[in-house]
Structure 1
Amino acid sequence: MHESERLPSPNSTTHTLRVWKEPILKFIFKATIVGLVVGLFISLFRMAVTEALHLVKDMFGYVQQHLIWVPVLIAGALLLAWVIGLLIKSDPLIKGSGIPQVEGQLVNELHMNWLSVFIKKFVGGTLAIGSGLFLGREGPSIQLGAALGQGIHRLSGNRSVFEEKFLLTCGASAGLSAAFNAPLAGVLFVLEEVHRHFSPIILLTVMTSSVTADVVASQFFGLTPVLSFGHLESLPIKDYGFLLLLGAMLGVAGMIYNKTLLMTQSIYQRITWLPVHLHGILPFILMVPLGLLAPQMLGGGHDIIVSLHQQAFSLIALLILLLVRYLFSLICYGSGLPGGIFLPMLALGSLVGAILGQLFVSVFGLDPMFVNNMVILAMAGFFTAVVKAPITGSLLITEMTGSFATLLPVIIVSLTAYVISDLLKTKPIYEELLHRLTTPFKEAMDHQLESRETAKELIEIPIVIGSKAENQYIRDLNWPRQALLIAVKRGGLEIIPKGDTKLRAGDSILILTDDYTLSEVKQKMNMLCTDCSSYDRE
């Protein structure tokens, strides 16, 4: 018997099932390695962006006093836009935040060259974000982390696509954890936004990599929260009505933001006189007068958020700040420069919170001491309305501010914003961005998948209360043609599925499919097992 006949392919059904049964400690060990590596490189990325931004602000401050250097400043901005444009042209997947790219790769709608993406996203992200544009480092950190997770898998010599997805997921979680010093938010963002459901093995490995990366990042940046607001008084129960009003208005604001962000991308697509990879010239040129007028406004928004706690702004000043940051953040992200909307989105939410807080004080008599509370709550609510991830939004802001006194109000605002956003038919922004991103690559990806060995994927789907699969016999359900049900997990038991096996809420089912049908199967299985829209309330 030949060796090729004895040993299963790393992407075969046999190997995929064998990997799933491997001891959890093996995956935890690999996740720890990913967390260490990602924590180190994302910390270096944070430091590079921070130092570059300080340098740029000092430079604008100097040019304010010596206007003769303005032409040099403009030339430098054009040069940066050109260099970043060359990086984008050589690898278009470094455009934008990187989160849609990671989601696309996990469902095989995109393929990423990990080394190319890591190097070019690191350099391009540092230049774009560190130059003072209204872009965030968090999305790029997630993509960089995912690329490193994929790279660690590739360098180990392992060719299993199934294992690669695990380490890629671990890297993404570790990237957000190191970027914000928020390990729980890193875990939940990947589970709530990227996977939309999870299994114990994913939870444990992602948590391991996220915590490990946070420990590494803490060696560089300490344990101080990223957005320290100091001690905040708890909002009295009698004022909780303001939370519902705040959440409702943020739900509307999130819908407006999503629509205008997508509209901005559409406007850029109509620009024919400038190559796509050079669209970044527009925000770089606009940044020059903005930086000369108010260099303190440059950057993703961290300084703006902190200043709302440290300084008193008039209502007019807050409205101007909101308008400028809103418009310029759309221009920056819509251009496709390598940078995210995570932190700029939080900055917009904080400004909305400060404005509404002042209005609550002057119109409804809210105690002025709670305006800072509104700033924090609005960040969580706006994030939830835009991303449609209320649990992540609540924990992210709690970890970033270090204020657990606001946890209950944060949850109330986030849930209210989510409900209003949902009623307004707002789709998750990263889902919309992924759809736009994958369209140009679809034909090439289909050809690539057809020309290589088919890999097998295992996915674990929970049975949710109110779903079509709940209390149904397996034989009575309309299963996707490309899906093979191989096991039903019920508590600590693993049941061999039969036609007369009845699925219960709380069960998890294991589905085997080909990697090129993963996205389609996942979508159909979620409609069958996790969609509660058909829930009978009678």
Structure 2
Amino acid sequence: MKSSHDIRNNFRKEFSDWPTWRARVLVVAFAALAGLAVVGFSAVSERAFGLFSAMYQRCWWSPLLWTPACTAAIVWLTRRFAAGAGGSGIPQVMAALEPAAAQDKLGRFVSLKLSVAKVLLTTWGLLAGLSLGREGPSVQVAAGVMLTARRWLPERSGVTAHGLLVAGGAAGIAAAFNTPLGGIMFAIEELSRTPEQRRSGLLMSAIVLAGLMAVSINGNATYFGLIHATGIDSGLLVPGLIVALASGLAGGLFSRLLIASLNSPPRDWFSRVRARRPVLFAAGCGLAVAAIGLFSGGAVFGSSSEHTRELVAGDGQAAGLFFFLKFIATWLTAWSGVPAGIFAPSLAIGAALGNDIALLLSYPHAGALIALGMVGFLAAATQAPLTSFIIVMEMVDGHAMVLSLMACAMVARTVSRVLSPPLYANLSQAQLRRLPQPASL
């Protein structure tokens, strides 16, 4: 009697299907390229901000001239040559995944050309000292690299442009934060609306590989260092709840402010100036960010990773205005129209909020509240609680805070949903409005 599971026939069927193996090899190869592209992007952007920091240390007043001039130039170039590269990059990928975006229109949102432009313009933004992160832009960069693979995929490969975009966008988060699991969760939570069951294993492998490229080159180092959280007991309940509610409120207001600034009809005077004179408005935003940066002693420039590392390490004990100043500087940077992400600035804002609440309550275990503030503000601003939880969980020494972090992310997201619609989903609809509208009869 012939076995229902014929090993020889299954082996022949599996390994003689060359088109399928060609598709697998191409997807894996482009995933590795996407991971390397994000690693390279990270390296050049950090170098660029290092050059800005050196200039600022030599001549403290230079940002008052340099930052507004660069901001105006970046916005002019973006609007003139790469309109699809503006903003975070996540809304563009989400717009490309919408059914309204036809296959021949995907290049308006995601392409290799836009990936190159995104790297150059975002790096220039960090060279200018603007308050931005590279993680959101990394999503668009990696998605553009992955989407390029469809040119060489064989027909009937089963790998669609939708799958490549999901894998590429998630690979961007995985490689930017050295968290492959975070990339997978980002794909599930933000990007994938209609999962491709047949190829999900291949696409998930691509996301993990892109993240592992970053880990293999950069090691397991986390973006803001390692949080040594202590005092994880019942005494954390009340302070932790206060941080969850405060970060949810602040993150929800931040999301609502961004939507009102970037995706609403120009009702106020500033928005009308932005619509009529975008380059001049960008210069004004750059000047304001420079002034805030000087007032903060340089702390709000860039992603504020150094300031946040000091908080995480327990060296930044003095409460101050950093939370408010970083909040405003990040909003102004996004409002200016430059290519800019908010993930890293949101983590910095959340860390400052947690630290300030610890000092206000005289809570002895500030590290725990800093971690909760980071996950809470990021979850509230992006309304992606599981992705936020995984990203911050990677930074915590030990697993004692896992349940606390997850609970904080969920509470903060719930508060945010009352105050604001989802940020990226809302901004993706604005991206879709850039498509040519059919002529009315």
> Where do 1:98-497 residues align within 5 Å?
98-110=89-101, 111-113=105-107, 114-156=111-153, 163-196=160-193, 198-201=195-198, 203-265=200-262, 266=264, 269-271=271-273, 275-276=277-278, 279-293=281-295, 294-310=297-313, 311-315=315-319, 317=320, 320-361=321-362, 366=363, 368=364, 370-401=365-396, 403-422=398-417, 424-439=418-433, 441-442=434-435, 444=436, 446=438
For 2:233 and 2:227, how far apart are their aligned partners in 1? Answer: 19
For 2:298 and 2:327, how far apart are their aligned partners in 1? Answer: 17
Is the radius of gyration larger for structure 1 or structure 2?
1
Amino acid aligned to 1:404? H
Give the % identical residues. Answer: 24
Amino acid aligned to 1:421? S
For 1:415 and 1:343, how far apart are their aligned partners in 2? Answer: 20
For 2:59 and 2:164, how far apart are their aligned partners in 1? Answer: 46
Q: Is the 8 A contact 2:169 2:187 kept in 1?
A: yes
Corresponding residue SS for 1:229? coil
1:26-80 Cα offsets, whole Å, 9 max, x none, are: 665443222210111111100010001011001011013xx6xx4x971575156
Amino acid aligned to 2:354? G
CA RMSD of aligned residues (A): 2.8
Corresponding residue SS for 2:273? coil
Amino acid aligned to 1:88? R
Q: Is the 8 A contact 1:247 1:414 kept in 2?
A: yes
For 1:213 and 1:252, how far apart are their aligned partners in 2? Answer: 34
**Cα distance 1:77–1:426, how it changes in 2: closer, same or farther (>3 A)?**
closer
For 1:231 and 1:76, how far apart are their aligned partners in 2? Answer: 36
Q: Is the 8 A contact 1:63 1:292 kept in 2?
A: no
1:467-515 Cα offsets, whole Å, 9 max, x none, are: xxxxxxxxxxxxxxxxxxxxxxxxxxxxxxxxxxxxxxxxxxxxxxxxx
For 2:28 and 2:301, how far apart are their aligned partners in 1? Answer: 36
Structure 1 gaps of 5+ residues are 1-20, 448-538
> Where do 1:16-165 residues align within 5 Å?
28-64=24-60, 70=62, 74=65, 77-79=68-70, 81-110=72-101, 111-113=105-107, 114-156=111-153, 163-165=160-162
**Cα distance 1:354–1:39, how it changes in 2: closer, same or farther (>3 A)?**
same
Higher relative contact order (CA 8 A, sep 6+): 2
For 1:403 and 1:273, how far apart are their aligned partners in 2? Answer: 49
Amino acid aligned to 2:208? V
For 1:159 and 1:336, how far apart are their aligned partners in 2? Answer: 40
For 1:408 and 1:301, how far apart are their aligned partners in 2? Answer: 27
For 1:333 and 1:277, how far apart are their aligned partners in 2? Answer: 14
1:89-147 Cα offsets, whole Å, 9 max, x none, are: 22211010010000000114443421321121111111013322111100100000111
**Cα distance 1:137–1:272, how it changes in 2: closer, same or farther (>3 A)?**
closer
Amino acid aligned to 1:430? Y
For 1:75 and 1:131, how far apart are their aligned partners in 2? Answer: 7
Q: Is the 8 A contact 1:24 1:201 kept in 2?
A: no
Q: How many residues align?
A: 410
Q: Is the 8 A contact 1:173 1:206 kept in 2?
A: no
Q: Is the 8 A contact 1:124 1:338 kept in 2?
A: yes
Amino acid aligned to 2:366? V
- CA shift at 1:224, angstroms? 1.6
For 1:172 and 1:196, how far apart are their aligned partners in 2? Answer: 13
- CA shift at 1:245, angstroms? 3.0
For 1:404 and 1:197, how far apart are their aligned partners in 2? Answer: 32
**Cα distance 1:330–1:389, how it changes in 2: closer, same or farther (>3 A)?**
same
Corresponding residue SS for 2:160? helix
Bigger shift: 344-353 or 94-103?
344-353
Structure 2 gaps of 5+ residues are 1-16
For 1:242 and 1:24, how far apart are their aligned partners in 2? Answer: 54
User: TM-score, normalising length from structure 1?
Assistant: 0.70
1:338-390 Cα offsets, whole Å, 9 max, x none, are: 011111111111111111222232xxxx4x1x211111111111122222222
Q: Is the 8 A contact 2:351 2:373 kept in 1?
A: yes
Amino acid aligned to 1:354? N
- CA shift at 1:220, angstroms? 2.9
- CA shift at 1:216, angstroms? 1.5
- CA shift at 1:401, angstroms? 4.3
Amino acid aligned to 1:414? A
For 1:158 and 1:59, how far apart are their aligned partners in 2? Answer: 53
Corresponding residue SS for 2:88? coil
For 1:336 and 1:158, how far apart are their aligned partners in 2? Answer: 39
Q: Is the 8 A contact 2:274 2:281 kept in 1?
A: no
Q: Is the 8 A contact 2:180 2:212 kept in 1?
A: no
**Cα distance 1:273–1:242, how it changes in 2: closer, same or farther (>3 A)?**
closer
- CA shift at 1:337, angstroms? 0.4
Bigger shift: 243-252 or 43-52?
243-252
Q: Is the 8 A contact 1:182 1:396 kept in 2?
A: yes
Q: Is the 8 A contact 1:250 1:378 kept in 2?
A: yes
For 1:272 and 1:397, how far apart are their aligned partners in 2? Answer: 35
For 1:411 and 1:273, how far apart are their aligned partners in 2? Answer: 40
Amino acid aligned to 2:347? L
User: TM-score, normalising length from structure 2?
Assistant: 0.84
For 1:396 and 1:291, how far apart are their aligned partners in 2? Answer: 27
**Cα distance 1:275–1:202, how it changes in 2: closer, same or farther (>3 A)?**
farther
Q: Is the 8 A contact 2:67 2:287 kept in 1?
A: no
For 2:338 and 2:416, how far apart are their aligned partners in 1? Answer: 28
Amino acid aligned to 1:408? L
